Amino acid sequence: MKIKQISVFLENKKGRLWKALNTLGEGGINIRALSIADTSEFGILRLIVPDSEKAKKLLEENNFVVKTKDVIAVELSDQPGGLSTVLKMLNDSDINLEYLYAFVHEKKDKAIVIMRTDDLDTLIDTLKEGGASLVPPEEVYNL
């Protein structure tokens, strides 16, 4: 159920995000989901792509620092309260999220949330027990 996500270090400087995305674009890599965490000095670009190995290699060849991390994806009904239901499960089990980001799955009219914690296995178990629906990696890569 674990999904490969790549994170890219970006200096907070004009054109850096473009450069990273352009590198992927030219390499024929389609981005499935994306989020940026930023501070005043730097940002971290998090991406989910079909072929994370290839994307990582391409970016590294262009002098970016890249890390691959496992994350999980949860499907929510795209309506009020969808996300809070899932977060309550984590709250009740005392799980602290490192980060999350969400996007809408157009084909199924569902929202998908990407989550990351230190201990992904516990997270997966908790979500399963709570009845949340995890999205398999293949489905996310092929959104």
Which CB, 20 or 74, lies closer to other proteins? Answer: 20
- Who contacts 18 (Cβ-Cβ below 8 Å, separation ≥6)? none
Least gap, CB of 42 to other proteins (angstroms): 6
- What torsion, rounded to 10 degrees, do the Cα atoms 114, 127, 105, 77 define? -130
Distance CA 139, CA 143 (A): 6
The sign of the torsion formed by the CA atoms of 87, 102, 121, 44 equals: negative
Least gap, CB of 140 to other proteins (angstroms): 17
Least gap, CB of 80 to other proteins (angstroms): 29
Q: What is the CA radius of gyration of the chain?
A: 16
Which CB, 42 or 128, lies closer to other proteins? Answer: 42
Which CB, 98 or 129, lies closer to other proteins? Answer: 98
Task: Point out which residues bind other proteins (CB under 8 A).
Answer: 5, 7, 9-11, 16, 37, 39, 41-42, 44, 46, 63-67, 69, 98-99
Which CB, 34 or 37, lies closer to other proteins? Answer: 37
- Who contacts 62 (Cβ-Cβ below 8 Å, separation ≥6)? 19, 23
Least gap, CB of 122 to other proteins (angstroms): 18
